Structure 1
Amino acid sequence: MRKNPHQRTSPARDGALRVLIAVDKEGAYANLALQNIRADLKLGADDLALLTELVYGTLRMRGTIDWVIDCFSSTPVSKMSHAVRNIVRLGVYQLLFLDRIPPWAACNEAVEQAKRWRLAGLAGFVNGLLRSIARKREEISHPDPDVDPLSHISVKYSHPAWLVERWLNRYGKEETIALCRANNKPAPLVIRCNTLKITPQELQQQLERENVIARFSMLVPEGLVTNLSSLAELRLFQEGYFAVQDESSMIASLVLNPAPGSFVIDACSGPGGKTTHMAQIMQNRGRILALDVHSHRLELVAKACKRMGVSIVEPKLMDVRELPFQLQEKADYILVDVPCSGLGVIRRRPDLRWRVKPEDLPQHARQQLEILKSASRCLAAGGILVYSTCTTEPEENTGVIRQFLEECKDFQPEDLSLRLPFPLVWEEDKVTARSGFLQLFPHRHGTDGFFVACLRKTIKGG
Structure 2
Amino acid sequence: MRLHRNLVFATIDALSEIFNEGKYADKVIEKTLKRDKRWGSRDRSFIAETTYDIVRWKRLYAEIAEVKEPFSRQNLFRLFAVWATLRGIKLPDWKQLEETPTRRIKGKFDSLSKIRKYRESIPDWLDETGVKELGEKKWEKEIHALNEQAPVIIRTNTLKTTKEALQKQLADEEIFTRPIKNHPEALVLEERANVFKTQAFKDGFFEVQDASSQLVAHFLDVQPGMRVVDTCAGAGGKTLHLAALMENKGQIVALDIYGNKLKELKRRARRAGAHNIDPRAIDNNKVIKKLKGSADRVLIDAPCSGLGVLSRNPDAKWKLQPEFIETLKQTQSEILEQYSKILKPGGKMVYATCSVLPSENQDQVEKFLNSEAGKDFKKVKDEKILSSETGYDGFYMALLEKSN
Fold conserved between structures, TM > 0.5: yes
Residue of structure 2 in register with 1:16 after alignment: 11
**C-alpha separation between the residues in 2 aligned to 1:202 and 1:58?**
38
CA contact (8 A) 2:130 2:357 kept: no
- Normalised by the size of structure 1, how large is the TM-score? 0.82
Structure 1 counterpart of 2:169: 206
Instruction: Render the CA deviation track for 1:102-142: whole Å, top value 9, x for unaligned.
Output: 1x32xx45x34xxxxxxxxxxxxx622xx22x133332232
Other-structure match for 2:45:
49
| Structure 1 residue 11 displacement after superposition | 2.6
Aligned to 2:119: 156
Question: Relative contact order, CA 8 A, sep 6+: which one is greater?
Answer: 2
Paired letter, 1:186: Q
Equivalent position of 2:311 in the other structure: 347
Whether 2:391 is the aligned partner of 1:449: answer no
Which residue does 1:413 correspond to in 2? 378
**Identical pairs, percent:** 30
Greater share of helix:
1
CA contact (8 A) 1:291 1:319 kept: no
Tell me, yes or no, if structure 1 residue 36 matches structure 2 residue 7.
no
Count of paired positions = 400
Give the conservation status (yes or no) of the 8 Å contact 2:228–2:297: yes
Paired residue for 1:277? 241
Q: CA deviation at 1:281?
A: 0.6
Q: Is the 8 A contact 2:180 2:187 kept in 1?
A: yes
- Relative to structure 1, the CA distance from residue 52 to residue 327 in structure 2 (aligned partners, 3 Å threshold; closer, same or farther) is same
Q: Is 1:366 paired with 2:330?
A: yes
Amino acid at match of 1:59: V
Distance 1:359 1:326 in 2: 33
Compute the displacement of 1:199 (Å): 1.2
1:319/1:448 Cα in 2 relative to 1: closer, same or farther (>3 Å)?
A: farther
- Per the TM alignment, residue 173 of structure 1 is displaced from its structure 2 partner at its CA by 4.1
Describe the shift of the 1:452–1:411 C-alpha distance in structure 2 as closer, same or farther (beyond 3 A). farther
Within a 5 Å distance, the mapping from 1:170-209 to structure 2 comes to: 170-209=133-172
Q: Counterparts of 1:2 and 1:200 in 2: how far apart (Å)?
A: 40
Match for 1:135: what amino acid?
A: R
CA distance in 2, matches of 1:2, 1:16: 15
Structure showing greater Rg: 1
* SS of 2:141 mapped into structure 1: helix
1:65-103 CA-partner distances (Å, limit 9, x unpaired): 012122xxxxx424x64433322212211211x33x21x
Q: Assess if the C-alpha contact under 8 Å between 1:188 and 1:229 holds in 2.
A: no
Match of 1:6 in 2: none
The structural deviation recorded for 1:309 is: 0.5
Instruction: Name the CA shift for 1:409/1:290 in 2 (closer, same or farther; >3 Å).
Output: closer
Q: TM-score, normalized by length of structure 2? A: 0.93
Q: Which residue of 2 aligns with 1:25?
A: 20
Gaps of 5+ in 1: 4-8, 71-75, 113-125, 146-151, 417-436
Does residue 22 of structure 2 align to residue 77 of structure 1? no
Contact 2:120/2:143 (<8 A) preserved: yes
* Partner residue in 1 for 2:78: 88
Once the two structures are TM-superposed, the CA of residue 458 in structure 1 deviates from its matched residue by 1.1
Distance 1:185 1:302, change over 3 A: same
Q: Alpha-carbon deviation of 1:172?
A: 4.3
- Identify the residue that residue 179 of structure 2 maps to in structure 1: 216
Superposition pairs of residues 57-456 of structure 1, within 5 angstroms: 57-70=53-66, 76-78=67-69, 81-96=71-86, 98-99=87-88, 101-102=89-90, 104-105=91-92, 108-109=93-94, 111-112=95-96, 127-128=98-99, 131-132=100-101, 134-140=102-108, 141-143=110-112, 145=114, 152-227=115-190, 228-318=192-282, 322-407=286-371, 408-416=373-381, 437-456=382-401
Look up the equivalent residue of 2:104 and give its one-letter code. Answer: K
Q: Deviation of residue 319 (structure 1)?
A: 5.2
Q: 1:40 to 1:329 in 2, by over 3 A?
A: same
Aligned partners of 1:66 and 1:456: how far apart in 2? Answer: 49
Partners in 1 of 2:284 and 2:208 — Cα distance?
A: 26
Q: Distance in 1 between matches of 2:213 and 2:163?
A: 17
Deviation sequence 1:264-296 (CA, Å, 0-9, x none): 111111111100000011011011111112222
Look up the match of 1:432.
none
1:453 maps to a residue whose letter is A
Distance 2:314 2:344 in 1: 40
Verify the 8 A CA contact 1:263 1:332 in the aligned structure 2: yes
C-alpha distance in 1, partners of 2:137/2:402? 40
Q: Which amino acid aligns with 1:17?
A: I
CA contact (8 A) 1:250 1:274 kept: yes
- How far apart are the structure 1 equivalents of 2:131 and 2:152? 29
One-letter amino acid of the structure 1 residue matched with residue 127 of structure 2? V
